[in-house]
Amino acid sequence: MEDLAKLYQIRFSDARREQKDLVWKALCEDYFQQFVPRSSTVLEIACGYGEFIRHIAASQKIAVDLNPDSESCLSDDIEFHLGSATNLSMLEDDAVDVCFSSNFFEHLPSKEVMDLVLAEARRVLKPGGIYLAMQPNLRCEPGKYWDFYDHVLPLTHMSCREAFVKAGLDVTKLVDRFIPFSTNSRLPQYPLIVKTYLRIPLLWRLFGGQFVIIGQKN
């Protein structure tokens, strides 16, 4: 856990975290909120610095991460648990409406561990609940994918789809190209420009390096 905190302190300066936070605010308000009812219970798996869970509107918010620094970044209305996504025993079966994760699966050590994560997510989801995830797409950025020291598991949008289906999650939406591969891209990241980008899917085809997948508990 200490190694993880150190790695993220190296990777994300305070200035870059502030810029990244503004991007996530726009992503939540102008894209992800459409999939998250404001009356829902939301669980963010591997919440990092909480860019999603802080900006999404929901009646109850829960966050899980291995990084002990995460808790200090979250607001008081967010219930935080320090621990692994393979063990969500703090939550009962059928407890949440939406699970979310971003740029997470590629850090897992094996497909077997990813299966455990998806099984736990499915367990805590209510019937009809969704797992909403955004991931870097190896098919789009086969070189840059490995530029990060902690990237281990290779995934495309199609292999992730198979993993979701294998776990008992019906894939209801799959966008192979969404936002650029990294928030450190050359594209301008002012909130107004991000919002404009989100409204023009043609730009996604040109610049997108991450995919979005939604799996519904059947």
Instruction: Label the pairing between strands 210-217 and 125-136.
Output: antiparallel
Interatomic CA distance for residues 191 and 66, integer angstroms: 29
User: Residue 14's pLDDT band (boundaries 50, 70, 90)?
Assistant: low
Q: How many domains does the chain have?
A: 1
The CA-based angle 69-73-74, given to 5 degrees, is 120
pLDDT at 184: 59
Residue that wins the pLDDT comparison between 2 and 69: 69
2 pLDDT more than 80 = no
pLDDT at 178: 97
> Of 118, 159, 115, 152, whose CA–CA distance to 137 is shortest?
159
For range 106-115, the mean pLDDT:
97
CATH number of the CATH domain containing 13: 3.40.50.150
Q: Confirm whether pTM is higher than 0.85.
A: yes
For range 115-123, the mean pLDDT:
98
Lowest mean pLDDT among 14-23, 26-35, 79-88, 141-150: 14-23
pLDDT at 15: 61
User: Residue 6's pLDDT band (boundaries 50, 70, 90)?
Assistant: low
CA atoms within 13 A on the CB side of 156: 6
User: Residue 75's pLDDT band (boundaries 50, 70, 90)?
Assistant: very high
Range of the domain at 25: 2-217
User: Residue 30's pLDDT band (boundaries 50, 70, 90)?
Assistant: very high
pLDDT at 20: 84
**pLDDT tens string 181-195:** 876 555 556 888 999
Q: Mention every residue, 6+ apart, whose C-beta is less than 8 A from residue 212.
A: 132, 133, 134, 173, 174, 175, 178
Q: What mean pLDDT is reported for the chain?
A: 91
